[in-house]
Chain A
Amino acid sequence: QQQVKQSPQSLIVQKGGISIINCAYENTAFDYFPWYQQFPGKGPALLIAIRPDVSEKKEGRFTISFNKSAKQFSLHIMDSQPGDSATYFCAASLNDYKLSFGAGTTVTVRA
């Protein structure tokens, strides 16, 4: 049973639009929430991560929003570009050096 539920499974956005991916978790002991980006034929790579003591973290066009009370977090990709087309995975960790991954979201940015 997946400990982190991710939606949607896929999304299509126009260039310049906003992509939003949502994740939900049950275990309140999770203390680290990263997002990984995977391009076709490549392994996933860390994109951005957040800890539960902050509600938002922004790096360039990528923002994580974290809602501790709702046990949800989301990735927002602002001004989406064709180069952002990839599969995105959310994950969570119990400070035990293991990650529980969501099922992934394939993002397609149309030019």
Chain B
Amino acid sequence: DADVTQTPRNRITKTGKRIMLECSQTKGHDRMYWYRQDPGLGLQLIYYSFDVKDINKGEISDGYSVSRQAQAKFSLSLESAIPNQTALYFCATGGGSSYNEQFFGPGTRLTVL
């Protein structure tokens, strides 16, 4: 079983809809991250959390919100999706003896029409 899972893997939605992307991990890590990947831009940090009570904005948090429901679960929400939020979204974890290494999920491809 994968250590970091993301659901759904693909999603098509319409402008103005609320959508939630979910991430779960079995690595026991405290740190969790949400990134978006766009061609030519690399990976941009949206939000990150170092424990259940700690939530921080990243480089591009506008239009997004997150919830850390438990150590193992970190959800990303788009309150009112817009077409330029069409991207590949990755969840990642970090912690323990891995120092700064981050472990990425398989990604969610989101299309906003």
Chain A interface residues (CB < 8 Å from chain B) = 2, 6, 9, 32, 34, 41-46, 49, 89, 93, 95, 97-99, 101-104
Contacts and interface: CB of A to CB of B under 8 A. Distances in A.
A2 B106 contact: no
B48 A89 contact: no
Nearest to A44: B104
Interface of B: 4, 31, 40-45, 48, 50, 58, 90, 92, 94, 99-107
Given A9-B40, A43-B106, A44-B43, A99 B90 contact: no
Secondary structure call for the A interface = loop
A99 B102 contact: yes
Given A32-B100, A43-B92, A101 B43 contact: yes
A45 B104 contact: yes
A103 B43 CA distance: 7
Nearest to B35: A101
A104 B31 CA distance: 24
18 contacts: A2-B42, A6-B42, A9-B40, A42-B107, A43-B4, A49-B100, A89-B43, A95-B100, A97-B31, A97-B94, A98-B45, A99-B43, A99-B102, A101-B42, A101-B44, A102-B42, A103-B42, A104-B42
A43 B105 contact: yes
A97 B96 CA distance: 12
A100 to B, nearest CB: 8
Contacts of A95: 100
A101 B104 CA distance: 14
A89 B37 CA distance: 11
A43 B42 contact: no
B37 to A, nearest CB: 8
